[in-house]
Structure 1
Amino acid sequence: MPLEFSSSDDAPAREHVLGVLTDDACREIIAVLEEPLTVPEVADEIERPLSTTYRKLDRLTDSGLVKKTGARPGREQKSRYVTDFDRIAIDLDDARNLCVDVDRSNDDSLALWKTDL
């Protein structure tokens, strides 16, 4: 059964979406990223080692579900991570092909976190 991807935004590496969604640690990370967090903050929240947290954040970033942002103004320069989607839908099309649709946020309230990394 072929896997097709569509999106309201063309983020890279959509083929990884299903893989990260089946990973417990990745789902835990998605759940805690209500606001941008540093890697140590994420690791503390999900109670996992830093090495695991870095690895899972890399997978989530490669899948396009999480993005790396800059530091808060006036704070030590550390990258932060935040989710980069509003909705994920998995469906079958008319030909019974599995489709994944990732809707991206158009929320500009995170603009203060954006940098040219």
Structure 2
Amino acid sequence: MVRDSASSEDSPSLQNVLDALDDPDCRAILRVTTEPMTANELTDTCDIPTSTLYRKLELLSNASLVREQDTINPGGGRTTRYKRDFDDVTISMTEEDDFSVTVERPPRKADERLADIWSTMGDEL
């Protein structure tokens, strides 16, 4: 399962962000996830095999560039959708000549924050 980047308060590591952005499949996923999409939709849209897709989603999640949104289905089970989770990524150099990364995120509405909490609770059950 892909880690929920939305619940992470830590900034992603520079290397994780660079690894994700250097990957053509990850960039393709980021281009189409302006709206939430299921893994099946991503597989079809990006023409990426399912097994590869989950590895790419893991890269993006580790870089905190994509987040999961779970929906509970009325008949049971849940559907997971993936959405790009940043407005801007900035890589800069500090005064100590170290590189740093800043990920600016869109503001979350109350229902999105509640959905994140619900998703986290579901994972722990």
Q: TM-score range by the shorter chain?
A: 0.7 to 0.9
CA RMSD of aligned residues (A): 2.5
In structure 2, the residue corresponding to 1:116 is in which secondary structure?
Answer: helix
- Which one has a larger percent helix, Structure 1 or Structure 2? 2
Q: Tell me by how many angstroms 1:74 deviates.
A: 5.5
Q: Secondary structure of the equivalent of 1:70?
A: strand
Structure 1 residue ranges (4+ consecutive) displaced by more than 6 angstroms after TM superposition: none
- After superposition, the Cα gap between the structure-2 partners of 1:26 and 1:54, relative to the gap in structure 1 and judged at 3 Å, is same
Partner of 1:58: 58
TM-score, structure 2 normalization: 0.73
Whole-angstrom distance in 1 between the partners of 2:88 and 2:100: 14
**For residues 1-117 of structure 1, what are the structure 2 equivalents within 5 Å?**
10-11=9-10, 13-14=12-13, 15-71=15-71, 77-108=78-109, 111=112, 114=116, 115-117=118-120
Q: Tell me which amino acid in the other structure corresponds to 1:29.
A: I
Contact 1:12/1:62, CA 8 A, preserved across alignment: no
Identity, in percent, stands at 30
